[in-house]
């Protein structure tokens, strides 16, 4: 039996042409949730360190370039989520704004936490990854939807970030100004 995800929904029920039967939303969830839980609960041991199965699978299937871009996306999402603890691990002592203004990381993170800086979404365009041994750079244009200092807009910003390959994968390294 095949479930087609391009099926349509009407009155809380999914209709699949291939199945020629109606599947209620609750039944669909009862079918899918156990498979999701089974897929997410496994563990793998690599290099003497236990890692979640999905993390190990992701490492095996992602290229270095994809891992680096994923790290950059994690940073962008942390800005949206106001995850200042994670942001702090990626930043040096100072940050540079698109205007060229340089301020301390502590001051910028306080602005993120207080809502002076609000980030809503991002799109990465023209990503270019360069790898040399265990170091890499990512240059791209980041379309950022944000409200900063009271001004809401979508800005396309040239972005440059550096990465170091560790036993845990590629990690963003702090930029210094």
Measured CA to CA, the distance from residue 33 to residue 40 in angstroms comes to 11
**pLDDT by residue (tens digit) across 2-33?**
333 334 344 444 443 333 333 333 333 333 33
pLDDT tens by residue, 44-57: 333 344 455 565 55
Rounded distance between C-alpha atoms, residue 70 and residue 45, angstroms: 22
Helix axes 25-41, 53-61, angle to 10 degrees: 80
Mean pLDDT, residues 150-157: 94
Give the tens place of pLDDT for each residue, 79-114.
999 999 999 999 999 998 877 889 999 999 999 999
CA 139 to CA 126: how far, in whole Å? 8
**pLDDT value at 123 more than 50:** yes
pLDDT the model gives residue 54: 60
Delineate the domains of the chain, giving CATH numbers in brackets.
13-59 (no CATH), 65-173 (3.10.450.50)
| Closest alpha carbon to 143 in 121, 112, 116 | 121
d(CA 49, CA 131): 26
């Amino acid at each position: 039996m095949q479930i087609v995800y391009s099926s349509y929904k009407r009155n809380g029920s999914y209709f699949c042409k291939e199945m020629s039967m109606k599947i209620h939303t609750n039944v669909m969830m009862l079918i899918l949730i156990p498979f999701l839980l089974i897929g997410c609960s496994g563990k793998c041991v690599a290099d003497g360190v236990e890692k979640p199965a999905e993390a190990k699978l992701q490492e095996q299937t992602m290229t270095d370039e994809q891992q680096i871009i994923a790290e950059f996306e994690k940073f962008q999402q942390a800005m949206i989520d106001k995850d200042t603890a994670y942001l702090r691990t990626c930043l040096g002592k100072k940050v540079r704004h698109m205007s060229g203004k340089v301020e301390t990381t502590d001051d910028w993170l306080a602005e993120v936490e207080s809502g002076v800086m609000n980030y809503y979404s991002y799109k990465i365009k023209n990503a270019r990854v360069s790898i040399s041994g265990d170091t890499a750079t990512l240059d791209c244009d980041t379309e950022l939807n944000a409200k900063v200092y009271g001004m809401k807009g979508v800005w396309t910003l040239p972005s440059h970030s550096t990465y170091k390959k560790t036993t845990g994968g590629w990690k963003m390294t702090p930029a210094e100004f």
